[in-house]
Amino acid sequence: MKSTVVSAIFFALSTCSAFVQKLIVQSPNQKINVALFSSQNNDVGAWYLKASYSDNEKISEAIPRIDLGLSRSDQDFSSELKFLKAGKPLLINEQYTALHGKKSVCTNSANEVTVSFENPSKAKLNIIIRAYNDGVAFRYGFPEKKGTFEMKDELTTYSVPNETMRWMEKWNPANEGLYTAMSDDKVQKQEWCYPVLFQLKDSSCWYLLHESDVNRTYCGSKLSNQVDASKYKITFPNPKDGRGMGSSTPTITLPWKSPWRVMIMGSLSDIVSSTLVDDVSSPSVVKNTDWIKPGLVSWNYWSSNHGTKDYKVVCEFADLAARMNWPYMLLDWEWDAMSNGGNIEDAAKYIVSKGVKPLIWYNSGGNHTWVSSTPKDRMLTHENRVEEFTKLKKMGFAGVKIDFFESEKQDMIKYYLDILEDAAQFEMLVYFHGCLVPRGWSRTYPNLMTYEGVRGAEWYNNGPEFTTTAPEHNTILPFTRNVVGPMDYTPVTFTNSQFPHLTSYGHELALSVLFESGLQHLADRPEGYLELPDAAKAFLKCVPNAWDETKLLEGYPGKDVLMARRKGDAWYIGGINAEIREKQKTLQFGFLPDKVKYKLTLIADGKHDKAFATKYQVVDKSSSVDVRMLRRGGFAASLVPIQ
């Protein structure tokens, strides 16, 4: 395939200057092309990319224009860039193992070309372009060897025709909003969170925009179409974020490379199964990873907001984890005020005595958050963390949940990564809460097990809204937020918290498969699980939360989703319905290997939304099984090979 890329680039460079197109980079499977164009039809001026997708010989112009450029404190790199050369095509081809996520064996395989420019003052800019089988990624680079500058602005702008359907979340620092579906005259002008999902009008292609490999040399960004509804510009953090602490514009030192700008592209199934955000990220810096173990977690906050203050409540949830064979239990906020029979040391001893590993919550601390909940500053500095991690290891704690970051400025990116590095030194798992959405860091720091960055079940405590919005929201997340990395929604609740569910028991059980998180916090009270019928309870005792393979079987954002995930030789399926009408689905098992029979355990909606209907059946690759989903209903299933 390397020769294909070479000839494509050679052809483009050999054409006369009247041609706008300068070069093409093609994916290894030849389905995705990314082309470089000159806005001025010559070698000097502004430049943009165009991304195309072809399937069954139909070529779709997925993103017609991606404007390029940077503005640095000393000079501009956008409107008068002179094309110097396109480097030799490079085949990127590596495999790596993920300890948790949607796939265990991942492949980073792409064709890459580096394009070199200079501005009128002869300062150099590189743009590194990659075409993958499931998308496009590009990044900027300043190759010169010295100099420190402020980055004033990034001019990367995605042009999206208004008729393109999109699912977008209005910007908020905690990334906990709902998604809005819109097109045509319904397109709103806002600042938007990552990731963003688009569907071409003719349904020939989907794509999802994100960024990855954000490190200490830059800030996190967002998208804004406030100036022009059809143009989504990469935008730096608001100066007011994090109580105004830190600069909203990053400072860079040369040589320098930006984060990757990522476009996952193809069918909806391609997007759901993609690991592109991790693929382009830096390889793991943690050498010994034997101690990093994903697993399910019992968690008391949802059912009892102040439960961690009560030693007896803590013990009940430790017992729950032990009885359900879940490896972890989380001690959430107010653990430092624990009473009613014991304190934090007593709780840790009790949890460990049950064969369960404790996790513990902290406020991120510092003046970037208004939240005064204690302990506040024990994660704030390297010295704080070393002291606290030392204590935690002695008490048997396996990891930390750190909350309230409230900013994606460069200083906060440094803080996130400092925490991960110190935690790895003490073999501590990390869960970020009240935070950004994943940027590929779980590949670089595999002890980063999960993030919140989602409107999850916690919102049943915050007001009546989530009761009605959750069913639809749940069917959007597998196509948006959970595509780009682990997501701690705190799912699978059968009883009610402050505000009730409208989702069925089958819907809730399905979330254990549909939502991926390296630490999956199951949020219900003990009786919510222990009083389940035997089949559902057994399912939750054995369902994995780190997967070897993921396949979308069927679905559409906001309507329904059916997904299959494999762990070892066993498969698990989750399906949910967002709509207020009953649906009949037919499960097809074409993803199973040939000549192997499986025992199917199907736990579906029963006669009403708080009942299950369970059936057992032998199936193989050629089988099909009908399953009924109630309004806002769902089902879960396991497929275990028969020896």
Rounding to the nearest 10 degrees, give the CA dihedral for residues 213, 216, 222, 227.
-120
Residue 503, pLDDT above cutoff 80 = yes
At residue 15, the pLDDT reads 39
Residue 9, pLDDT above cutoff 50 = no
634, two tokens: 């769902």
| pTM recorded for the entire structure | 0.96
Say if domain 295-453 classifies as CATH 3.20.20.70.
Answer: yes
Under the banding of pLDDT at 50, 70 and 90, the label for residue 501 is very high
pLDDT in tens, 132-183: 999 999 999 999 999 999 999 999 999 999 999 999 999 999 999 999 999 9
Under the banding of pLDDT at 50, 70 and 90, the label for residue 1 is very low
At residue 57, the pLDDT reads 77
| DSSP code per residue over 369-434 | ----PSS-STTSSHHHHHHHHHHHHHHT--EEEEE-----SHHHHHHHHHHHHHHHHTT-EEEE-S
**H-helix or E-strand spanning residue 561:** strand 560-567
Residue 19, pLDDT above cutoff 50 = no
Under the banding of pLDDT at 50, 70 and 90, the label for residue 18 is very low
User: SS3 for 85?
Assistant: strand
Under the banding of pLDDT at 50, 70 and 90, the label for residue 21 is confident
What ranges do the domains of the chain cover?
2-279, 295-453
The percent of residues in the chain predicted with pLDDT above 90, rounded, is 95
Average pLDDT value for residue range 519-547: 98
Asked whether the beta carbons of 504 and 609 are under 8 A apart, the reply is yes
Distance CA 211, CA 407 (A): 16
Distance CA 102, CA 59 (A): 29
At residue 596, the pLDDT reads 97
Distance CA 431, CA 330 (A): 11
The residue written with tokens 């290894």 in the block is: 28
Average pLDDT value for residue range 17-23: 66
User: Which class is 2-279 in CATH?
Assistant: mainly beta
pLDDT averaged over every residue in the chain: 96
pLDDT in tens, 565-604: 999 999 999 999 999 999 999 999 999 999 999 999 999 9
pLDDT in tens, 403-460: 999 999 999 999 999 999 999 999 999 999 999 999 999 999 999 999 999 999 999 9
Residue 533, pLDDT above cutoff 50 = yes
